[in-house]
Amino acid sequence: MNVTGLILIDLAICAFIMFFLIGQRFNQWPGAQQALLSGKPSDYIDPFRYYAFYLLYVCTFLVVGMAIYNLQLAVPESLKSSKVFEAIVKQLGNQSYTIVALYLLAMVNEKHVEQWDALWRNHLQVWARIPKAVEEVKDNILFSEDSLAPTPERLEDLRKEMKRLQVEAYWEPIIDHWQGEREKASLEWHYLKALYTLRICKRLRVESLHVDDVDRHENRLHDLARVMPKLDPQNEDVKTYAEELNKLYGYFVESLCKHVIKKNPSKNIQCEALQNLGFQLSFQVVSEIKTIGMAFDCLLCLSLICVITIFGYLAIRDWVGMTCGDGACLT
């Protein structure tokens, strides 16, 4: 194979390692957050913002890779012992871009480096407002009982659902006077909130709710719709049911917020979309500050400083090397 073909293959393999094997780490929660948050970081932000910070994460390793490539650092023993590594060296050479990418892959999985990597990922995710963008809206909805004002067309959808379940005699008066149920924060209101939000998620085909999850939760709510008319208000199960319904409602609201925020990068449009669904947010939406642009200006400057510093160091190193080679190096 000619030299141009080998270079293209080298670059292609290097790009695969950088963007898929190393870059995919950005879509992982660092440290303790794994147990606290559901789904992946990409579920909590719109694609444009996610991929912008994803590229910034990959560019960090590209800068380090440039330094490794130019400094010609020794290859770790763990790589040298691999037969695949030997085959790559034979075909592409000891200082190919693929070797550098493999070096980075081995380095990032080293325990001490992995800690710094997790710290850097955490900073980037915070700057990207992951998961804050979703949690901010979700908490605004959950912490205010008045935040949900069901729309007439979606209330009609609930009436049809109750007729289908043959429990409309009990539930239709409650649906018609939902404001009174909301003021009392009754068990029926907790139920209506959960079913209302689940029906919206189902109709919008929210990505974070799998079909099996929707069916399982919907069947459970259908069972409760039949049980609650026979339930004694003094029964101890009332509190248990209320806690279960609140938990389901919170899960559905979070899933809905993820969907709306992923589909609509603008905060104004996010609020408008949720209001059209019946969720009234208490905070006022002000004109948006271009935080991404500001963050990228700062990070771009930092990246340029790193690149200039590395190239400056390499230039001085090359100059000193040539000087020493001419016998003019002073000690």
Distance CA 318, CA 322 (A): 6
Residue 125 and residue 53 in contact, taking contact as beta carbons nearer than 8 Å: yes
Average pLDDT, integer, range 292-300: 58
| pLDDT range class, residue 313, cuts 50, 70, 90 | low
The confidence score (pLDDT) of residue 322 equals 55
The confidence score (pLDDT) of residue 288 equals 46
| pLDDT range class, residue 36, cuts 50, 70, 90 | confident
Q: Where are the domains of the chain?
A: 3-129, 135-276
Q: Is the pLDDT of residue 145 over 70?
A: yes
Q: Is the pLDDT of residue 298 over 60?
A: no
Highest mean pLDDT among 87-101, 174-188, 306-320: 174-188
Average pLDDT, integer, range 201-205: 93
pLDDT single digits (tens) 113-125: 888 888 889 999 9
Give the relative orientation of helices 237-263 and 267-276 as an angle to the nearest 10 degrees: 130
Q: Is the pLDDT of residue 28 over 70?
A: yes
44's tokens: 């909590």
Note the pTM of the prediction, 2 decimals.
0.79
Instruction: Tell me the average pLDDT of the chain.
Output: 82
61's tokens: 């390793």
The confidence score (pLDDT) of residue 26 equals 93
| CA angle 57–51–64, rounded 5-degree value | 20
The proportion of the chain whose per-residue pLDDT surpasses 70, expressed as a percent, equals 77
DSSP state for residue 328 in the 8-state scheme: -
Residue 250 and residue 142 in contact, taking contact as beta carbons nearer than 8 Å: yes
The confidence score (pLDDT) of residue 228 equals 92
Residue bearing the bigger pLDDT, 39 or 156: 156
CB atoms under 10 Å from CB of 235, counted, come to 11
For 135-181, the DSSP string reads HHHHHHHHT-GGGB---HHHHHHHHHHHHHTT-HHHHHHHHHTHHHH
Residue 159 and residue 69 in contact, taking contact as beta carbons nearer than 8 Å: no
Average pLDDT, integer, range 195-206: 94
pLDDT single digits (tens) 9-27: 888 888 898 999 899 999 9
| CA angle 207–213–214, rounded 5-degree value | 75
The confidence score (pLDDT) of residue 111 equals 80
- At 185 the three-state DSSP class reads coil
The confidence score (pLDDT) of residue 289 equals 46
- Output 78-85 pairs: Cβ under 8 A, ≥24 positions apart: 78/106, 79/103, 79/106
pLDDT single digits (tens) 58-114: 988 888 777 766 666 566 666 666 666 667 767 776 667 888 888 888 888 888 888
pLDDT single digits (tens) 223-264: 999 999 988 878 788 889 999 999 999 999 999 999 999 998
The confidence score (pLDDT) of residue 104 equals 84
| pLDDT range class, residue 204, cuts 50, 70, 90 | very high
The confidence score (pLDDT) of residue 226 equals 94
